[in-house]
Amino acid sequence: MKFELFVDQPSLELKKGILVKADTELSYKSEKVEQFLKDLKLDTILDDEGSNGHNSYRSKSHISITLNEGDILLFDVDRGYYLSSYPKTTIDRAIEDISSLKGIKLSDDQET
């Protein structure tokens, strides 16, 4: 039996977002989210209310995140700007990284 090398299949799902720089500023407002980014600090105010038919609720919270230059903020119209739970990169960087794997082979003693 001969071993081969395998990698996790990359996701081809594209996400809209921005690359944060030291001077990046933004503001965003939707029905439930209000956000401001300045001086690498992202402030998010969430304001939500609803009912399940028996009980009603109202929730209001303020989240403040200190970002680093180079962080990637993804965007969703309902959530606003957010940090992904998984590392993200640009398409060009992903192609470069994957291309660098081409031609890598196991040594003869690793193949069996």
In the chain, domain spans: 18-85
Q: Strands, E, within 1-112: which ranges? A: 17-19, 26-29, 33-38, 41-51, 56-66, 72-76, 80-83
Residue 4 pLDDT: 82
How would residue 104 be classed by pLDDT, with cut points 50, 70 and 90? confident
Contact 74, 81 (CB under 8 A): yes
Query: With b meaning 16 or more CB within 10 Å and e meaning fewer, what string describes 2-16?
Result: eeeeeeeeeeeeeee
Query: What is the percent of the chain where pLDDT is above 70?
Result: 96
pLDDT digits (tens, 9 = 90+) for 50-95: 998 899 999 999 999 999 999 999 999 999 999 998 888 888 988 8
Coil/strand/helix, residue 87: coil
Q: Return the sign of the alpha-carbon dihedral for residues 88, 89, 94, 98.
A: negative
Nearest to 89 by CA among 97, 101, 81, 77: 97
Phi and psi angles of residue 48, each rounded to the nearest 5 degrees, phi first:
-135, 145
